[in-house]
């Protein structure tokens, strides 16, 4: 059966009365092309039914990975904390940074860290510094306060955020998949016979991640536990709110607690309880918990590496500034077997 021939760049070039090279540049949003020309070429391509050849696109992508990107070889990792090393100096972020640097190197880039408040520079001046150094791609580190603002000239840069800042939701964000992490916890709980499950979370973290832990927990509880075993979620406001945690433990007496909360274990100790003898325990972030905790281990290296992968794609498409819609990539945690979740007898 006959098939329609694939529309080629050559066909578009003839119709537009341009060179094949010019058409190729227009299709890639090359900044040296006039906006009117880009729009004309894309309009003609759409009307003719053009679609890229997948095999050629894959070959082009493979070749691009093999050569250093001389025109934008440095990627910027931007932090906006109140101190220079407030985020990057935290040992817990080392894996994120190293994962990003390793992937950048494999793709032909180098990764350089920038503090947006260096020497008290204004956002406008900071944007100019980045542009003058030829930096077109930025990875935006998590903000100290998720509601913070950093008013750079975003239209000059391709941007990926690690985290999802509340004022910049239209940047492609690479984040931990907290919903699926909680679902994994419930799978493990049921395997070991637990149904009376409590969840304790720090409210600031809960808000930052749009209550994903709560959503997965409440759904799982409604589907997998008897009504008499349901325990309300405890959201802790203060950094040292031991009293609220202790009162909650006394009232509800959970078999096991799933936690992402500062000082939860201190409150347990104050209450005269021991883990796992009196109560089992799952950590939603064993990276930052005590050594023997059972729970979710975050692949922070993959957060960094994936951010670079996405940024590389944006740069090759010459996509700058925010998207029209919110787009994101989620990285699932992996299960870490510690000593705090023994099977129920």
pLDDT of residue 233: 97
Please name the residues in contact with 1: beta carbons below 8 A apart, sequence gap of 6 or more: none
Say what percent of the chain tops pLDDT 70. 92
| Tens-digit pLDDT profile for residues 123-182 | 899 999 999 999 999 999 999 999 999 999 999 999 999 999 999 999 999 999 999 999
- Integer Cα distance of 268 and 279 in angstroms: 9
pLDDT tier for residue 4 given thresholds of 50, 70 and 90: low
For residue 115, what are its two tokens?
A: 């503090």
pLDDT tier for residue 275 given thresholds of 50, 70 and 90: very high
| Tens-digit pLDDT profile for residues 72-91 | 589 999 999 999 999 999 88
Please name the residues in contact with 123: beta carbons below 8 A apart, sequence gap of 6 or more: 116, 150, 151, 152
Is it the case that residue 109 has pLDDT exceeding 60?
Answer: yes
DSSP 153-210: -GGGSEEEEES--TT-TTSEEEEE-HHHHHHHHHHHHHHTT---EEEEEEHHHHHHTT
Q: Which residues, in sequence order, are bridge partners of residue 139?
A: 77, 160
Is it the case that residue 249 has pLDDT exceeding 70?
Answer: yes
Q: Tell which wins on pLDDT, 199 or 151.
A: 199
pLDDT of residue 53: 64
Please name the residues in contact with 341: beta carbons below 8 A apart, sequence gap of 6 or more: 188, 189, 192, 194, 256, 276, 280, 281, 282, 294, 295
Q: Which residues of 122-148 are buried (b: 16+ CB within 10 A; e: fewer)?
A: eeeebbeebeeeebbbbbbbbbeebee
Report if pTM > 0.85.
Answer: no
User: Side-chain half-sphere of 206: how many Cα atoms within 13 Å?
Assistant: 20
Outline where the chain has alpha helix (H). Answer: 9-16, 20-27, 35-48, 54-66, 94-106, 123-132, 178-191, 203-208, 212-224, 242-252, 264-270, 300-316
Least confident of 57-66, 208-217, 270-279: 57-66
Burial (Cβ within 10 Å: 0-12, 13-18, ≥19) of residue 327: middle
pLDDT of residue 339: 97
| Tens-digit pLDDT profile for residues 205-232 | 999 999 999 999 999 999 999 999 999 9
pLDDT of residue 57: 56
For residue 242, what are its two tokens?
A: 């031991």
Domain 74-174+302-331 belongs in CATH node 3.30.43.10: no
- Integer Cα distance of 52 and 134 in angstroms: 30
Where do the domains of the chain lie? 1-45, 74-174+302-331, 178-297
DSSP state letter for 295: E
DSSP state letter for 141: P
pLDDT tier for residue 32 given thresholds of 50, 70 and 90: confident
Domain 178-297 belongs in CATH node 3.40.50.300: no
pLDDT tier for residue 69 given thresholds of 50, 70 and 90: very low
φ, ψ (nearest 5 deg) of residue 113: -85, 140
pLDDT of residue 8: 84
What average pLDDT score do residues 315-330 get? Answer: 93
What average pLDDT score do residues 109-134 get? Answer: 91
User: Whose CA is closest to 208, among 233, 246, 235?
Assistant: 235
pLDDT tier for residue 66 given thresholds of 50, 70 and 90: very low
Largest interatomic CA distance in the chain: 82
Same fold, 74-174+302-331 and 178-297: yes
- Integer Cα distance of 194 and 225 in angstroms: 9
Q: Tell me how long the chain is.
A: 345
For residue 229, what are its two tokens?
A: 């075993």
Q: What is the mean pLDDT of the chain?
A: 90
Distance of CA 240 to the CA centre of its chain: 28
Decide if 236 contacts 203 (C-beta within 8 A): yes
User: Order of strands across the sheet with 197-202?
Assistant: 234-236, 197-202, 256-260, 280-283, 295-297, 334-336
- Integer Cα distance of 277 and 256 in angstroms: 11
For residue 99, what are its two tokens?
A: 């994962």
Give the Å distances, CA to CA, from 325 to 158, 170, 328: 15, 6, 10
Is it the case that residue 1 has pLDDT exceeding 50?
Answer: no
- Integer Cα distance of 42 and 26 in angstroms: 8
């Amino acid at each position: 059966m006959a098939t329609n021939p694939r529309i080629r760049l050559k066909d578009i070039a003839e119709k537009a009365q341009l060179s094949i090279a010019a058409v190729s540049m227009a299709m890639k949003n090359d900044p040296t092309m006039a906006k009117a020309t880009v729009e004309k070429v894309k309009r003609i391509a759409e009307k003719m039914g053009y679609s890229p050849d997948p095999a050629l696109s894959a070959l082009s992508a493979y070749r691009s990975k093999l050569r250093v990107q001389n025109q934008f070889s440095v990627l910027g990792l931007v932090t906006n904390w109140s101190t220079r090393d407030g985020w990057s100096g935290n040992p817990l972020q080392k894996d994120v940074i190293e994962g990003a640097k390793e992937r950048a190197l494999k793709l032909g880039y180098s990764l350089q860290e920038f503090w947006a408040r260096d020497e008290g520079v204004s956002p406008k001046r900071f944007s100019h510094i980045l542009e003058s150094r030829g930096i077109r791609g930025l990875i935006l580190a998590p903000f100290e306060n998720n509601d913070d603002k950093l008013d750079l000239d975003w239209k000059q840069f391709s941007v990926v955020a690690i985290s999802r800042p509340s004022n910049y939701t239209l940047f492609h964000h690479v984040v931990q998949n907290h919903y699926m992490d909680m679902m994994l916890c419930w799978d493990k709980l049921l395997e070991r016979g637990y149904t009376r499950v409590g969840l304790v979370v720090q409210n600031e973290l809960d808000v930052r991640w749009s209550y994903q832990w709560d959503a997965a927990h409440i759904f799982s509880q409604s589907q997998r536990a008897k009504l008499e075993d349901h325990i309300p979620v405890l959201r802790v406001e203060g950094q040292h709110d031991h009293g609220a945690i202790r009162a909650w433990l006394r009232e509800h007496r959970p078999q096991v607690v799933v936690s992402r909360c500062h000082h939860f274990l201190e409150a347990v100790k104050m209450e005269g309880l021991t883990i796992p003898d009196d109560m089992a325990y799952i950590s939603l972030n064993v990276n930052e918990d005590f050594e023997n905790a059972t729970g979710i281990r975050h692949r922070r290296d993959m957060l960094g590496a994936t951010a670079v992968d996405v940024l590389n794609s944006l740069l090759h498409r010459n996509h700058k500034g925010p998207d029209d819609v919110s787009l994101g990539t989620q990285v699932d945690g992996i299960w870490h077997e510690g000593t705090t979740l023994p099977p129920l007898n």
